């Protein structure tokens, strides 16, 4: 159906079609995020028992941590239908209209990248979220009149990598707000083992641990790296797989022992070499790297901040001694100015 779109998923590594095969369909199949899982489970259970629609849910966190997966599992738990839209594609209220009028009672409407909704669309959404009603203005000037159209009670699930960019009125209309954090190596190793089973790849624990350790706490990266290792094993190792083969395959992709790829290291090296370790604004780094500031802020910095390789100061980003060491410091070596 036209109105059912695949979500656009941000990130450097695009999700292949097989992603769908690896994506859990039920919440019980999801690994990690226990706090979020338990709170959502309670809200879903209560909605089901009271035969009411579930309150609107906002999920935020870096790309690839499971926001879309939660959003697709929730309607499965409720036995309800799901529509998927992307904030970037909803340019005007009329783009949102079919989703709202198609929403069945108790169904879920998932809006990915909800921080990218233009203000006019956001305002159109307020009465839909609050009173399950939309206000449509017909005509112009003195002849203009507003028609109120009732909607079926539905649940909006919004996902964002930038909760800070959401306007307060929109944020306040979400009853449940959850932040997804990076996965521990143990949780990620469990995801790798489950995905390997789904891909019919026999794997020992040491190999699963190694892939997990090198996946930046992110299930999407773990799955993508697993697929690459499978290709490498088929093409170069007669289908054999052990920790050394996994390591060789990942090194060939420029992935280091912390899971950073060439782009992450280039970011650190730019701060170190070009800006003498910082502090430097993200725009200047992005400009030097010919990258979009958004990509750095969404995709690169959260994990490097978490690793304490960089810090954010009022005057910009600064490389830490730990970050400096990771790329073979000392800071300032070969600095340009
Ligand atoms: P986001 O929407 O936050 O960018 P996704 O929900 O698309 O991330 O997750 C990317 C992939 O990672 C999914 O296709 C799924 O295979 C895997 N994944 C994410 N979260 C989990 C989880 N908790 N347990 C198992 N697999 C997960």
- Per-residue model confidence (pLDDT) at position 17: 52
Q: Does the C-beta of 219 come closer than 6 Å to ligand 1?
A: yes
Residues of the chain with CATH 3.40.50.300: 16-179
What CATH number should be reported for the domain whose range is 16-179? 3.40.50.300
Of the residues 69, 196, 212, 224, which should be mutated to test ligand 1's pocket, given the most ligand atoms within 8 Å of the CB? Answer: 69
**pLDDT means per 10 residues in the chain (337 residues)?**
36 51 92 96 94 95 96 94 95 94 95 95 94 88 87 96 91 96 96 95 95 96 96 94 96 94 96 95 96 94 96 96 87 39
Whether the CB-CB separation of 211 and 246 falls below 8 Å is answered with yes
- CA dist list (Å): 93 to 99, 126, 137, 210: 11, 12, 11, 47
Q: Does the C-beta of 157 come closer than 6 Å to ligand 1?
A: no
- Per-residue model confidence (pLDDT) at position 120: 92
Q: Report CA(322)–ligand 1 centroid distance (Å).
A: 29
- CA dist list (Å): 128 to 75, 137, 318: 19, 15, 44
Residues of the chain with CATH 1.10.10.10: 262-326
- Per-residue model confidence (pLDDT) at position 330: 58
Q: Report CA(212)–ligand 1 centroid distance (Å).
A: 14
What is the set of active-site residues? 67-68, 112, 161, 220
- Per-residue model confidence (pLDDT) at position 5: 35
What φ, ψ does residue 249 adopt, rounded to 5°?
-65, -40
- Per-residue model confidence (pLDDT) at position 293: 94
Domain 262-326 CATH assignment equals 3.30.565.10: no
**Domain 185-252's class?**
mainly alpha
- Per-residue model confidence (pLDDT) at position 24: 94
Distance CA 104, CA 154 (A): 7
Q: Report CA(221)–ligand 1 centroid distance (Å).
A: 9
The number of the ligand 1 atom at minimal distance from the alpha carbon of 10 is: 4
- CB atoms near residue 226 (< 10 Å): 26
What DSSP letter does each residue of 154-168 carry, written as one string?
A: -EEEEEES-GGGS-H
Distance CA 120, CA 97 (A): 13
- Per-residue model confidence (pLDDT) at position 7: 35
Residues of the chain with CATH 1.10.8.60: 185-252
- Beta strand segments in 4-95, E: 57-60, 82-86
Strand 108-112 with 155-160, pairing:
parallel
């Amino acid at each position: 159906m036209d109105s059912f779109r695949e979500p656009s998923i941000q990130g450097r590594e695009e999700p292949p079609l097989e992603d769908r095969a690896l994506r859990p369909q039920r919440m019980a199949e999801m690994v990690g995020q226990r706090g979020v899982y338990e709170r959502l489970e309670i809200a879903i259970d209560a909605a089901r028992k009271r035969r009411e629609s579930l309150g609107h849910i906002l999920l935020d966190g870096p790309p690839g941590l499971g926001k879309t997966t939660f959003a697709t599992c929730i309607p499965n738990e409720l036995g309800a239908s799901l529509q998927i839209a992307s904030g970037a594609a909803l340019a005007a209220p009329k783009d949102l209209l079919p989703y709202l009028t198609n929403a069945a009672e108790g169904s879920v409407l998932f809006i990915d990248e909800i921080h990218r909704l233009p203000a006019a669309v956001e305002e159109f959404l307020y009465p839909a979220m609050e009173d399950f009603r939309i206000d449509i203005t017909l005509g112009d000037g003195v002849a203009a009149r507003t028609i109120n159209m009732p909607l079926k009670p539905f649940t909006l699930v919004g996902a964002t990598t930038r909760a800070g960019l959401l306007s307060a009125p929109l944020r306040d209309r979400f009853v449940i707000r959850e932040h997804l954090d990076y996965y521990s190596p143990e949780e990620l190793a469990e995801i790798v083992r489950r995905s390997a089973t789904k891909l019919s790849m026999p794997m020992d624990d040491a190999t699963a641990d190694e892939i997990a350790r090198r996946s930046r706490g992110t299930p999407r990266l773990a799955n993508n790296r697993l697929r690459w290792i499978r290709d490498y094993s088929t093409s170069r190792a007669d289908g054999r797989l052990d920790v050394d083969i996994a390591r060789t395959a990942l090194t060939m992709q420029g992935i280091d022992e912390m899971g950073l790829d060439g782009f992450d290291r280039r970011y650190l090296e730019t701060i170190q070499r070009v800006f003498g370790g910082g502090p430097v604004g993200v725009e200047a780094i992005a400009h030097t790297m010919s990258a979009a500031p958004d990509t750095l802020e969404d995709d690169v910095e959260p994990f490097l901040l978490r690793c304490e390789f960089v810090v954010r100061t009022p005057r910009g980003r600064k490389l830490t001694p730990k970050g400096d060491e990771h790329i073979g410091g000392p800071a300032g070596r070969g600095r340009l100015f």
